[in-house]
Amino acid sequence: MQIIPAIDIIEGKCVRLTEGDYSQKKIYNEHPLEVALQFQDAGLERVHLVDLDGAKAGKIINWKVLELLATKTSLKIDFGGGIKKQEDVRVVLEAGALWATVGSVAVKDKTSLLQWLQHFGADKFLLGADVKGEQLAVGGWLETTNIHIYDFIAAYLQEGIEQIFCTDISKDGRLEGPSLQLYQSLLEKNNTLQLIASGGVSSIQDLEALRAIGCAGAIVGKAIYEGRISIEALTIFQAS
């Protein structure tokens, strides 16, 4: 199971939110490159980069941070937040992301996303499924829909999407453990799914539990920044 540390960006700085609430923002480092280099130096290979300003504004804002990390590190980067047009995908990929992370557009404008998949290739996308309960949430988690997570994932697997990360917003930033039951149910219903867990990871034991149920990866954020899990421990776990 791959460990994917998260770097969330507001105003060019590395931050974390709690339950997706922009008013519950904590700045951990004003220089995201320093954080990324720590991950790289420890032997981690990938990073989940989120433009929270972009997610809220509906347009990419912090693409320069992506470009900086892609230029100055060898990390494999998935980038999301504010990708609304085909041109946005081009900007993100040309700035150095290996994957464009899409969530809200997959819910609100499936026709456009299917065109992007054809143009760039489905392997260039990471599908983000953010949930409250089992319903999708969009727009930087500010809007809950009536779309069920199981139907959403099944539809996009048929379109060639391979990687999907699922965030239970009620767990995110709370360090109370991941949504194991939800993830296990998703994997049981879709046995070809490469599921990346996101939200709530607080310990190596949480990661062991996620690996045991078959998750392909786990995004780890606040647990790193709050010192619950050392970067070195994550490296050892991934190698085990």
Give catalytic residues, as residue numbers. 8, 130
Structural contact between residues 36 and 69, judged by C-beta atoms closer than 8 angstroms? yes
Burial 115-150 (b: 16+ CB within 10 A, else e): ebbeeeebebbbbbbbbbeeebbbbbbeebbebebe
Output phi, psi for 56, to 5 deg.
-75, -35
Return the number of other C-beta atoms located less than 10 Å from residue 227's C-beta: 7
- CA–CA gap between residue 59 and residue 160 (Å, rounded): 25
72 contact partners, CB below 8 Å, separation of at least 6: 33, 36, 37
Estimate to the nearest angstrom the gap between the alpha carbon of 90 and the chain centroid: 19
